[in-house]
Copies of this chain bind each other. A is one copy, B any other.
Amino acid sequence: MTVLYIILSLPAFWHREAWLLALQTYAVIGAGAIGGYYGACLQRAGHEVHFLLHSDFEHVRDHGLSVKSKNGDFALPEVNAYCLAAGMPRCEGVFGALKSPANELLPEILPHLAGPSTVVLLLQNGLGAEPFIAAIDGVREVMSGLCFVCSRKTGPGRVRHEDYGMVKFVEYHADNLARPVSDRLLRIASDYTSAGIETQTAEDYLLARWQKLVWNVPFNGLTVTLGATTRRIVEDPSGRALARTLMEEVRAGAAACGKEIAPELVDQMIRNTEVMVPYEPSMKLDYDNGRPMEIESIYGNPLRAAENAGARLPAIRCLYEQLRFLERRRTKDH
């Protein structure tokens, strides 16, 4: 956060810094809480960014993007907006910032955007998307950006960035083994840094994904089933006990899949959540607004991976089935 603070206090400096580097062109698929926020930051820092939009296309084409951020508000009145992937240029980086239930659109989209030297970088929670993306025609290199950010889309082309913001970059390897961080990954991470975004890099994609689940598994689902913010959950003894149990089961699932998560991460995630803004994660917003929840990527896929490896995660399964029930019931009610 200190680094972030220094960068943010010197906007003139880091804009200049960014221009000193060879700039990369980026495509962003989806301009919601994640794609809209990070894409806008990159464009503000001078990068050429192309946004593929669906429902918000006309609004963003005509009015651009606007970001309300705890680090300072800004607007981009003009952005490169597209409603069809076929009309977009091939870019050095393609950021998949859809919700996971929409990943099924990627086999239609990515072949238009991915050239021989394109990195497809998935800005998404949960488990299981990278192998699917890596198998799409024309996709050569897949990376993941795990976003530790509280942000939400508040309207067409409008994003509110509420807290945090760090992105952890890591390369996908089909054998699930760790590899030293590549120059390509460092270059993308450096572009994010130069855009005022705190970044980290990691060597083990599967470990990083499971670590991220330590927070996402308890708080995405419990805010839905308990109808409460993260703050209310960690401040309540039962809510905190539930969160801890679910976090420990994520650790057990990771261990079954060969990835060790330090026990201290559980305490750290509880503490972070205590001091964080009272937050409604994306799954809660999706549920409240009648959009599909990311149930399979955050719950179903990790559960199946762990159970196939011989682990039982009964509290996670309990929450998973509750969420599936709520999703199905809502669909029937509408």
Contacts and interface: CB of A to CB of B under 8 A. Distances in A.
Contacts of A237: 324
B314 A242 contact: no
Nearest to A324: B238
A92 to B, nearest CB: 43
A322 interface: yes
B242 A329 contact: no
A238 B236 CA distance: 27
A176 B35 CA distance: 62
B317 A228 contact: no
A315 interface: yes
A318 interface: yes
Nearest to A326: B226
A179 interface: no
Nearest to A320: B238
**A contact face: mostly helix, strand, loop, or mixed:** helix
Contacts of A236: 325, 328-329
A121 B285 CA distance: 49
A71 interface: no
A233 B325 contact: yes
> How many of these chains are in the complex?
2
B241 A329 contact: no
A332 to B, nearest CB: 9
A318 B315 contact: yes
A30 interface: no
Contacts of A324: 237-238
B326 A242 contact: no
A252 to B, nearest CB: 11
A252 B239 CA distance: 25
A228 B332 CA distance: 12
Q: Sorted from nearest, which 10 A-B pairs have the closest CB atoms?
A: A314-B314, A238-B324, A238-B321, A238-B325, A318-B318, A315-B318, A242-B321, A239-B325, A314-B315, A236-B325
Given A228-B325, A315-B318, A318-B318, 6 more contacts: A226-B329, A236-B325, A238-B322, A238-B328, A242-B321, A315-B317
13 contacts: A222-B322, A225-B225, A226-B329, A228-B325, A228-B329, A232-B329, A236-B325, A238-B320, A238-B321, A238-B328, A245-B317, A315-B315, A318-B318
Interface of A: 222, 225-226, 228, 232-233, 236-239, 241-242, 245, 314-315, 317-322, 324-326, 328-329
